[in-house]
Structure 1
Amino acid sequence: MDKSTIAQHMQHMQHIQLADKEIAYQLKRSSRKTIGIRINHHGVQVYAPMGLSLSEIDQLVKIKARWIQQKLTEWNDRKPLQAIVNDDRTLYPMLGDLWKPGISAHGQVHMVPAARIAALHSSAADDALKPEFVQKWIADWYQQHAVACFSERLTHYAGRLNVTKPHFRLSHAKTRWGSCNSRGVVRLNWRLIQLPLHLIDYVIAHELCHLIEMNHSPAFWRLVAGIFPDYRQARQELNTYAIR
């Protein structure tokens, strides 16, 4: 059996009837001993042992039918982080507020809070800014603010946790807000800068605690609670946003 055949055997799409709806799921075989189910931007992913038959897998998936449908609904109801079109104006979220690109009297591109949009000659600004230029400029604007904000918040929470501020990098991950590896390098999704500051703080506090506890044990959550007491509420709110 060649490698491509093995890969097809280990990962393929299945369909199953759950209640009144047919659900497609991606089946991934591995050396694990138990079955696992994950819901993300790829849809439903089922991880199963190599020796488990398709009928056994389908039966176990059916047992979790209500949970799967609930999680799919929650995922689809998440608020996407993207530009908002309002009255023919494109607004961009940052730190929980909305911003609009404009042109200064000297011809420089800058961002103006949405609350001040009435003061802009918006039609002239929109006509003068080429879409491809605007997108590149705004991407740079987001990332510059992300680096400055994340660095400052890392300094703050590293001090509260009494650890050395780690190196960090911006991430373009599609499913994670942040991560911390065994070398102590923290990665933070640049899209976090679009969220309110308290959610950025939660992600940063969470990842910093992994410098001490590389797991999600009770000891880890005690660390998080020690520097960010409202973590449960923040985590719940963060789960209402989709990284897209």
Structure 2
Amino acid sequence: MTTAKLFRSPKDRRTTPAGEIRHVSLNGKEVAYTLKRCKRRTIGMKIDSEGLTVRIPLRESVCWVESVLQNRADWVVEKLDEWKSRKSSEPVWEEGAVFPLLGEPWRLAAIATGVMQMTRATMKAGAEDRQMQLPLPSVLTARQIEKIVMDWYRNKALACFSERLALYADKLGVALPQLRLSHARTQWGSCNSRGIVHLNWRLIQMPLHLVDYVVAHELSHLIEMNHSPAFWQAVGRVYPNYAEARKELKRFG
């Protein structure tokens, strides 16, 4: 059973141009929310990067609003936690930040010569310490660091994806397609009838076996432009563990 403790002190009610800021305790957590009154007949709740926003009819009471929040406490807390987790996973554009490459962490660091470099953050015994030196001043803005890292990702992605496309095109017996990097929000890759394969640049952050799965998947569309049993047979010929890779890739979002 969910419970909500209502806060009534004046400090918990602050009016801003965007609405009235209030607080309520849901499932033992103090939750701030923005209350907006507008011409509508029902309550509306939105949770995004700005937190919880509640829209209500002009004459509706706050007691009714907070009773609704009490009934939806589990959902509200869960969604707020999801956004908090999403924010914590966003990249930090500063020296010392760690960025994944093919499933391994790399760290951005400054060296004595005034040069920035990307170096392996964790190393296994006996592994080669690979580095990418960046001939730039050691004092950089967040925007400059972001550009450095994104250029680094782009170069690594083009090299890696080109190599894997050539490998799996040969295995499948299909012509080597054109490669284009994608910034899609909901797709890891796509292939069209003109023989152009789009691969999401974020794949370069994933372990190599997941890159290979997406490459094998998209190249198989050059044989079957669908997801029929014949298509999955084509994928399975060059990537037998595709079902496990699909599940693993879904966990990354």
TM-score (normalizing by structure 1)? 0.60
SS at match of 2:184: coil
Q: Distance in 2 between the 1:103 and 1:223 partners?
A: 47
Q: Does 1:110 align with 2:121?
A: no
**Maintained 8 Å contact 1:83/1:93:** no
Bigger relative contact order (CA 8 A; separation at least 6): 1
Q: Which amino acid aligns with 2:116?
A: V
Following superposition, the deviation at residue 126 of structure 1 comes to 11
For structure 2, the residue ranges without an aligned partner over 5 or more in a row are 1-43, 47-74, 124-128, 130-135
Q: Output the aligned Cα RMSD.
A: 3.2
Q: Distance in 2 between the 1:208 and 1:23 partners?
A: 43
Q: Distance in 2 between the 1:111 and 1:131 partners?
A: 15
Q: Which of 103-112 and 226-235 deviates more?
A: 103-112
For structure 1, the residue ranges without an aligned partner over 5 or more in a row are 1-21, 25-68, 120-124
SS at match of 1:165: coil
Higher alpha-carbon Rg: 2
Structure 1 moving runs of 4+ over 6 Å: none
Could you tell me which residue of structure 1 aligns to residue 149 of structure 2? 138
Could you tell me which residue of structure 2 aligns to residue 155 of structure 1? 166
Q: Distance in 1 between the 2:202 and 2:220 partners?
A: 21
Following superposition, the deviation at residue 107 of structure 1 comes to 2.6
Closer, same or farther: CA 98–126 of 1 in aligned 2, 3 Å: farther
Could you tell me which residue of structure 2 aligns to residue 62 of structure 1? none
Q: Distance in 2 between the 1:84 and 1:181 partners?
A: 32
Instruction: Compare the two structures and name the one with the higher helix fraction.
Output: 1
TM-score (normalizing by structure 2)? 0.58
**Maintained 8 Å contact 1:83/1:90:** no
Superposed CA deviations along residues 170-229 of structure 1, whole A, max 9, x for unmatched, are 000000000001111000000000000000000000000000100000000000000001
Following superposition, the deviation at residue 128 of structure 1 comes to 2.5
Return the match for 1:187 from 187, 192, 198: 198
Closer, same or farther: CA 82–155 of 1 in aligned 2, 3 Å: farther
Q: Does 1:101 align with 2:108?
A: yes
SS at match of 1:168: strand
SS at match of 1:211: coil
Identity of paired residues, percent? 48
Q: Does 1:199 align with 2:202?
A: no
